[in-house]
């Protein structure tokens, strides 16, 4: 069993979709503080859209060290651990992920 999930997000194709999602999530249990964020980064490696409309809820997620290309292995590991805990993954799952990432 992991910890308590402290926030989440969904990536949507349009600003209108993001606004609709915020309207649906507002006031709904488990989705505190829904908000919109624009990003030019893909949500995953399979996404080829030119822009991304992110709806977040809960606490702010951990921030990736910037610039990421200059981040040390320790900084990236700390980010991965913080992100895993933020999304409620168990310590065992986080450690498994870290081992696989090093492989």
pLDDT tens, position by position, for the chain (103 residues)?
A: 568 899 999 988 888 999 999 999 999 999 999 999 887 665 555 556 666 789 999 999 999 888 889 999 999 999 999 999 999 999 999 999 999 988 7
Domain boundaries, the chain: 1-61, 62-103
d(CA 29, CA 53): 22
Q: What pLDDT, on a 0 to 100 scale, did the predictor assign at position 52?
A: 75
Calculate the alpha carbon distances from 90 to 58, 71, 76 in Å: 19, 25, 18
């Amino acid at each position: 069993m992991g910890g308590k999930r402290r926030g989440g997000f969904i990536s949507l194709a349009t600003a209108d979709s993001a606004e609709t999602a915020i309207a649906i999530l507002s006031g709904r249990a488990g989705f505190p503080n829904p908000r919109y964020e624009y990003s030019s980064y893909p949500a995953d490696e399979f996404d080829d859209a030119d822009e991304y409309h992110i709806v977040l809820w809960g606490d702010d997620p951990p921030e990736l060290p910037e610039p990421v290309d200059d981040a040390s292995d320790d900084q990236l590991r700390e980010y991965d651990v913080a992100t895993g805990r933020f999304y409620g993954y168990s310590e065992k799952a986080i450690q498994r992920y870290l081992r696989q990432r090093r492989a």
